[in-house]
């Protein structure tokens, strides 16, 4: 199985996965960002901020692991960053997924990145794969 996992090596770790309800269409994953990751040395020196592209990549990697298939983001309808992710201040988050299988190849997703009741990011997009299990 091919997995990108370019971020999971050190940028974040998954500390919990809980399905909501009885279907695989809604689930949440607890993540812990590594405030010592080298990306923060350049983004930005003296005031580290988690790069949006890294957060988007993390969300995709978690989804790939959940379904055991390599995916790519084929369409992005909405990506909003409500609050900067400052790893020196806050590094534990919940990634909440609401997904719908549009076909065997396409997953529609609505995702939020939260800490407590604070919304940091939300996105609505489609991922594509060559095959997704039932």
Yes or no: domain 12-128 corresponds to CATH 3.40.50.300: no
Rounded-to-integer distance, Cα 42 and Cα 93, Å: 22
Residue 21 pLDDT level (bands cut at 50, 70, 90): low
At 54-69, the pLDDT tens digits run 999 999 999 998 888 8
CA dihedral 87, 31, 119, 127 (to 10 degrees): 120
What CA–CA distances, in Å, run from 133 to 33, 34, 67?
30, 32, 7
10 Å Cβ neighbour count for 60?
Answer: 20
At 84-123, the pLDDT tens digits run 999 888 889 999 999 999 988 999 999 999 999 999 999 9
Q: What is the sign of the dihedral through the CA atoms of 44, 47, 51 and 54?
A: positive
Prediction pTM value: 0.87
Domain ranges of the chain: 12-128
């Amino acid at each position: 199985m091919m997995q990108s996992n370019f971020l999971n090596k050190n940028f974040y770790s998954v500390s919990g996965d809980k399905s909501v309800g009885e279907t695989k269409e809604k689930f949440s994953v607890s993540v812990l960002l590594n405030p010592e990751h080298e990306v923060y040395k350049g983004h930005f020196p003296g005031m580290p901020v988690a790069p949006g592209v890294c957060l988007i990549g993390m969300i995709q990697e978690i989804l790939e692991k959940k379904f055991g298939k390599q995916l790519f983001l084929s369409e992005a309808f909405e990506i909003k960053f409500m609050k900067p992710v400052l790893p020196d201040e806050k590094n534990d988050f919940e990634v909440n997924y609401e997904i719908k299988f549009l076909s065997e190849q396409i997953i529609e997703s609505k995702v939020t990145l939260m800490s407590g009741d604070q919304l940091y990011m939300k996105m609505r997009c489609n991922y594509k794969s060559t095959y997704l299990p039932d």
